[in-house]
Structure 1
Amino acid sequence: MIVRITSKFGEVSSIHKTPHTGIDIVLSEGTPLRSVYDGVIEKVYDGSTNIGKGIKIRFEDGTEGIYGHLSEVKVKVGEMVRDGQIVGLSGNTGRSTGEHLHFALQRHGEFVDPSSIVDKTVNYSWINHFFQNGKVGQIDFFSIPEWIKGKFTEATIGNTVDFISDMALALPIITVVSLSVYALLNMVSSRVAKLGALGTVVYSLIIIH
């Protein structure tokens, strides 16, 4: 989804008499909203303030993300959330001129420009998530090195099924990349091409994670 910004960070207008503390993007009511990073729900706004129903998430680096004007909140205070997890639905609550999301970032008590990540509030690419984190879903699973070394724990064993499920989703990506490497290296040597393709698979399973 391509997000359309209707009010930029720091903007002063007839609607925002003082510099805007976040960014407003147009969204139809009920659009699923996602956490932009791993974090914990620090506050849930009940709708009595200017931003209406909303949430504040404290991310792992200490930065806080604020989502405002929601129609529904899907999380509760103290809940741990993961990158890409749905935390609420967009709406038109509070002091709002139409259906939209107000998204703001606070760092050390100061508001900062969230332009570079505002699209992550509505977009979730499981392909990018796999290559960045070594997994597709929101479940932590054991890595291949841990498997080889026998460093299983009760938690990782319990998540084996989730791991297999996630890898099944990622398999097409690994296959395409491996075949591309094979085709490229095959112009040099079929032996090198086979080793390159195998190395790509191993790299995907171990190094990325």
Structure 2
Amino acid sequence: MAKVKYYYDSENLAYRKIITKTRKKIGVVLLFLVASALFGFLSFVILLNTPYFETPKNRLQAREIENLKLRYAILNKKMDEVDNVIELIEERDNNLYRVYFNASPIPEEERKSGFKDADRYKDLEGYDNSQLVANTTKRIDKLRKELSIQSKSLDDILKMAEAKDKLLSAIPAIQPVRNENLKNMASGFGYRTDPFTKARKMHEGMDFTAKTGTPIYATGDGIVARADNTASGYGNHIVIRHGYGYETLYAHLSRYKCRAGQRINRGDVIGYVGSTGRSEAPHLHYEVHKNGKVVNPLNFYYGNISAVEYVAIAQLANQENQSYD
């Protein structure tokens, strides 16, 4: 039963009954219902955006986000390991490989420069975990650039190694005739007595005595430039161009075992000892030229003699005796 309400009428000094109009009652009820509905909707929205009220979809998304964060953390840890390996390779590259081949080291700022494009990672901004994703992407790009630089450096080193192998093979590094007991060394490089004029003159090679027909060996890899007897005084002779500015000459041969244009390897038999041309007796006259200038062949026998043998042959070569041509 609804309560009856009264009000005091001061003019008539009496209490009178309050009579509420039906329209007003309906309005109050409607206002209450609208207010209740609005309050309920706002409360629902607030609850949806709090951790205390999650839908199954929200819980699934939250688990996926945490899983992605964990994977990014593992990825960054693996990148730390890759970074350490790359640093070790870079250190060996700069301080070992490039030093060996006399190449300049790659500056640290060039290796670690990364990318300077400010807008490169702009599309990763504006998300809840933008910083995590952007930082990881930057690290990956930096590692990719470092690996690219290192890969190019190793390609350069491989080319230098191949060139060095060719250089080492081309340098005249052995004696042109077998000389195990060092008795075949007859005359060295320098001023010697001419066997025909008896005057002192420059002897631009080394003479090795040997029987006619003794094999003569190429002292380095190269191409036969000539094998003929057209040069005055040398008789039958061979010239090999080794590249890198090196040439060798083998004179007074009895016969050839190569021809002009033929590619020769160190140790190949190219001819045989004789006494053709301006020669006093069977022997090989051997010369080494570097960049067009004649040099002492004694400096190039490191390929097949020991240090003790080198000293012994040097003493024989430095004797100012008579040459054989």
Please, which runs of 5 or more residues in structure 2 have no aligned partner? Answer: 1-179, 306-325
- In the alignment, structure 1 residue 90 sits paired with structure 2 residue 273: yes
**Partner residue of 1:76 out of 246, 251, 259:** 259
Number of aligned positions between the proteins: 122
* Structure 2 equivalent of residue 2 of structure 1: 181
- In the alignment, structure 1 residue 23 sits paired with structure 2 residue 222: no
* Structure 1 equivalent of residue 237 of structure 2: 54
Instruction: Encode CA deviations 1:149-185: one digit per residue, 9 max, x unaligned.
Output: xxxxxxxxxxxxxxxxxxxxxxxxxxxxxxxxxxxxx
Between the aligned partners of 1:2 and 1:114, the Cα distance in structure 2 is 18
Between the aligned partners of 1:89 and 1:117, the Cα distance in structure 2 is 21
Between the aligned partners of 1:104 and 1:33, the Cα distance in structure 2 is 13
Distance 1:54 1:89, change over 3 A: same
Shift of 1:119: 9.2
* Structure 1 equivalent of residue 191 of structure 2: 11
Distance 1:75 1:107, change over 3 A: same
> Normalising by the residue count of structure 1, what TM-score does the alignment of the two structures yield?
0.53
Between the aligned partners of 2:193 and 2:207, the Cα distance in structure 1 is 13
Between the aligned partners of 2:252 and 2:266, the Cα distance in structure 1 is 21
* Structure 2 equivalent of residue 171 of structure 1: none
Letter in structure 2 aligned against 1:10: G
Instruction: Encode CA deviations 1:91-146: one digit per residue, 9 max, x unaligned.
Output: 111110101000001111110000144697xx79xxxxxxxxxxxxxxxxxxxxxx
SS at match of 1:115: helix
Give me the identity figure in percent. 30
Distance 1:118 1:102, change over 3 A: farther
Higher relative contact order (CA 8 A, sep 6+): 1
Higher strand share: 1
SS at match of 1:52: coil
Letter in structure 2 aligned against 1:8: G
- In the alignment, structure 1 residue 105 sits paired with structure 2 residue 284: no
Instruction: Encode CA deviations 1:61-94: one digit per residue, 9 max, x unaligned.
Output: 3210000010011111111000110100011111
Between the aligned partners of 1:37 and 1:43, the Cα distance in structure 2 is 16
Between the aligned partners of 2:299 and 2:292, the Cα distance in structure 1 is 19
Between the aligned partners of 1:119 and 1:89, the Cα distance in structure 2 is 23
Is contact 1:48-1:94 (8 Å) kept? no
Letter in structure 2 aligned against 1:80: R
Between the aligned partners of 1:17 and 1:73, the Cα distance in structure 2 is 31
Is contact 1:43-1:77 (8 Å) kept? yes
Shift of 1:60: 3.2
Letter in structure 2 aligned against 1:37: G
Between the aligned partners of 1:6 and 1:63, the Cα distance in structure 2 is 24
Distance 1:23 1:118, change over 3 A: farther
Between the aligned partners of 2:224 and 2:289, the Cα distance in structure 1 is 14
Letter in structure 2 aligned against 1:72: R
Is contact 2:207-2:283 (8 Å) kept? yes
Letter in structure 1 aligned against 2:190: G
Q: Supply the RMSD in Å over aligned alpha carbons.
A: 2.3
* Structure 2 equivalent of residue 66 of structure 1: 249
Is contact 2:251-2:286 (8 Å) kept? yes
Distance 1:10 1:91, change over 3 A: same
